[in-house]
Copies of this chain bind each other. A is one copy, B any other.
């Protein structure tokens, strides 16, 4: 397995080190190449993602990314020039984000909740297309536009993958989340594609929920969701809340998948670079380790993936108030559990 690693900024390098520890414990033959991308490189050279690096990244089986973002870089520069550029250039059309409330984890909701859902967030179009502009800037007549681009091509492939995943899950339930009563054009396309593909999957039950109502359900009845498919922006918002109610962004994994396998997929924790705790050795590497689990699944190593997940589940269920929550200690425990 040829793995490209982008540790990135802030706590990125710390959590990635633990992710690699777990990965190499379960799959001995991993060949890693480190790529120095992020705030430091941008400051040093002005580069975000040189074409030569992008070409090299394409030669790998997968990419593991820590986090990008730094208070010394204006907001948006690294996000768009590096993170989103990778997702778009490598055609990561399925942004896979499971949210599961593990036994032993205290979420912010009162009462007992059973949360075990997976979101397929479209990753290469929608309001993230970067399409829009300013007219009459800095005048009282200024107009700013943002264009959400949605194609049958783009919607069909993520919806199809969502049905495939729903079919393989016990509950076989799929929810389209959108705002079809207001965003009628995109809403019509999404609804029509879901209806069309559902004909091929009679065993999957299908529901529709407006995005605003979905937020309510996530805090009052999260158990209703199994597989969720939605657009890039709704998915961004939905998955942060889903992570929050499942015990926090420190446990939320993600895979940016090119389901066609033309380009390497990229795995990253949902959390950011957390500059406030960088270097203190207290970042929780669990989200990165769970992202390694998604990576193993994607590369056709489900047994290894299950071992990583089971290690996390065991560790979360048995983590004591007294046990060390330091980054390396957690990584050591998870690596030992997964490879035992």
Binding site for B on A (CB under 8 A): 75-76, 79-80, 84, 106-111, 127-128, 130, 132-134, 138-153, 156, 179-189, 192, 211-213, 215-216, 218-220, 233, 236-237, 239-241, 243-245, 248-249
Does A185 lie within 8 Å of B134, measured CB to CB?
A: yes
Residues of chain B within 8 A of A183, CB atoms compared: 127, 132, 146
Given contacts A132-B186, A219-B241, A241-B241, whether A151 and B147 have CB atoms under 8 Å apart is: no
Q: Are B241 and A76 in contact (CB under 8 A)?
A: no
Check A185–B219 contact: CB distance below 8 A.
Answer: no
Residues of B within 8 A of A144 (CB): 150-151, 185-186, 188-189
Known: A132-B185, A240-B213. A233 touches B179 (CB 8 A): yes
Name A212's contact: one of B84, B189, B237 (CB within 8 Å). B237
One of B75, B110, B241, B249 near A110 (C-beta < 8 A): B110
Chain B contacts for A188, CB-based, 8 A: 134, 144
CB distance from A10 to the nearest CB of B (A): 15
Please name the residue on chain B nearest to A239 by beta carbon.
Answer: B212
Give Cα distance in the complex from A128 to B139, angstroms: 23
A186 to B174, CA, bound (A): 32
The residue in A146, A181, A186, A219 that gathers the most chain B C-beta atoms within 10 A of its C-beta is A146
List B contacts of A128 (CB < 8 A): 182
A215 touches B189 (CB 8 A): no
Please tell me if the beta carbons of A219 and B216 are within 8 angstroms of each other in the complex. Answer: no
Instruction: Give the residue name and chain of the B residue nearest to A220 (CB).
Output: B108
Task: Decide: A215 and B186 in contact? CB cutoff 8 A.
Answer: no
Specify which of A151, A182, A236 lies most central, judged by the most chain B CB atoms within 10 Å of its CB: A182
Q: Is the CB of A236 within 8 A of B219?
A: no
- Tell me the minimal C-beta distance from A78 to chain B in angstroms: 9
* A287 shortest CB reach to chain B, Å: 14
CA distance A61 to B80 in the complex (A): 48
Bound complex: CA A188 to CA B134 (Å): 9
Q: A146 to chain B: which residues have CB within 8 Å?
A: 127, 147-148, 150, 183, 185-186
Complex Cα gap A215–B79 (Å): 19
